[in-house]
């Protein structure tokens, strides 16, 4: 039987990179994304290359939508070997200026999306009693912080804390599930345009102006490719590495924060 990988936020960017990488390893891939058209396009592209694919339109911020993803996955394949809780969005402005809708949207996708993935898939993965992996996508901003990235940083610190606690809980019961947390710096993706998937438009122009400044876009353009990130993830799974650092130049930044904390 093929190994099965489930990826949320699979239709573009890092998620697409992960799906393509796992496909080259002859895994079956389950693609979950809120965006219908790119999801269908990736499904068709991978199928044309001979990959076994299931695409499920999913809103990770909704518990019942993630439950539907898990139900369809287990009905089709009966097991999951790699779960990537990867979907994420960004919205930027001084933290006190964020609207309630900003908080609900970003925490809903970035933090609740991972929480729903854990609540829904872990009991099923435990019942499998096979070796399997969970990769939660955080960010370098899950370990440090940067001005103007308030909710995003809160959400990503949450994903790191959630992943650490999950790993401890699973280790305590000698589970066969290994956890990994992905903490990249800039990657060339569509994340600066994440408002394309926002359910409301209440606070759009302001937040988009800040996050999508020329400087920020230039930094992103100079970032790593999703394929390189996917290689890091695949290698970390093989090596059993918990913190997946893709940008070694950030280590001094992390160390400086930890020194300050101490
Ligand atoms: N690009 C970077 O520089 C960078 C750096 C660090 C971490 N990350 C993280 O990587 C992850 C992937 O982002 P990306 O950079 O590939 O951006 P992206 O916008 O290219 O991909 C994100 C995907 O998530 C999907 N998505 C958005 N809302 C969703 C929802 N409610 N339910 C399901 N899917 C949804 C989008 O449709 C999109 O396909 C995110 O968690 C992001 O925070 C990105």
- What's residue 156's pLDDT? 98
Query: Would residue 74 show up in a list of annotated catalytic residues for this protein?
Result: no
Give Cα 190 to chain centroid, integer Å.
14
Total domains in the fold of the chain? 1
pLDDT by residue for the chain (262 residues), tens only, comes to: 899 999 999 999 999 999 999 999 999 999 999 999 999 999 999 999 999 999 999 999 999 999 999 999 999 999 999 999 999 999 988 999 999 999 999 999 999 999 999 999 999 999 999 999 999 999 999 999 998 889 999 999 999 999 999 999 999 999 999 999 999 999 999 999 999 989 886 655 544 544 567 888 898 999 999 999 999 999 999 999 999 999 999 999 999 999 999 9
The vertex-34 CA angle with 223 and 224, nearest 5°, equals 10
- Testing ligand 1's pocket by substitution, the residue of 7, 10, 14, 90 carrying the most ligand atoms inside 8 A of its CB is 14
> By the 8 A CB rule, do 187 and 250 touch?
no
Give the range of the structural domain holding residue 56, as residue numbers without chain letter: 4-261
- What's residue 214's pLDDT? 83
**Looking at residue 141, which CATH number applies to its domain?**
3.40.50.720
Atom of ligand 1 nearest to the CA of 223: 3
- Per DSSP, helices labelled H in the chain are 13-24, 36-48, 63-77, 100-107, 113-128, 150-172, 204-211, 214-221, 226-239, 251-261
């Amino acid at each position: 039987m093929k190994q099965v990988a489930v990826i949320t936020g699979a239709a573009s960017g890092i998620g697409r990179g992960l799906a393509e990488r796992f496909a080259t390893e002859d895994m079956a891939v389950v693609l979950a994304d809120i965006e219908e058209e790119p999801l269908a396009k990736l499904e068709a592209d991978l199928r044309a290359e001979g990959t076994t694919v299931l695409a499920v339109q999913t809103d990770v911020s909704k518990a019942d939508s993630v439950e539907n993803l898990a139900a369809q996955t287990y009905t089709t394949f009966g097991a999951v070997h790699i779960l990537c809780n990867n979907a994420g969005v960004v919205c930027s402005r001084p933290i006190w200026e964020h609207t309630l809708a900003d908080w609900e949207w970003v925490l809903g996708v970035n933090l609740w999306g991972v929480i729903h993935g854990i609540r829904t898939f872990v009991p099923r993965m435990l019942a499998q009693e096979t070796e399997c992996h969970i990769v939660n996508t955080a960010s370098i901003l899950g370990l440090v912080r940067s001005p103007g990235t308030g909710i995003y940083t809160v959400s990503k610190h949450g994903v790191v804390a959630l992943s650490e606690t999950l790993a401890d809980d699973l280790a305590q019961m000698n589970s066969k599930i290994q956890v990994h947390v992905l903490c990249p710096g800039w990657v060339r993706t569509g994340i600066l345009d994440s408002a394309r998937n926002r359910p409301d438009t209440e606070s759009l122009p302001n937040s988009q102006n800040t996050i999508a400044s020329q400087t920020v876009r230039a930094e992103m353009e100079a970032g790593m490719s999703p394929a390189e990130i996917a290689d890091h993830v695949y290698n970390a799974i093989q090596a059993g590495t918990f913190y997946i650092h893709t940008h070694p130049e950030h280590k001094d930044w992390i160390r400086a924060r930890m020194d300050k904390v101490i």
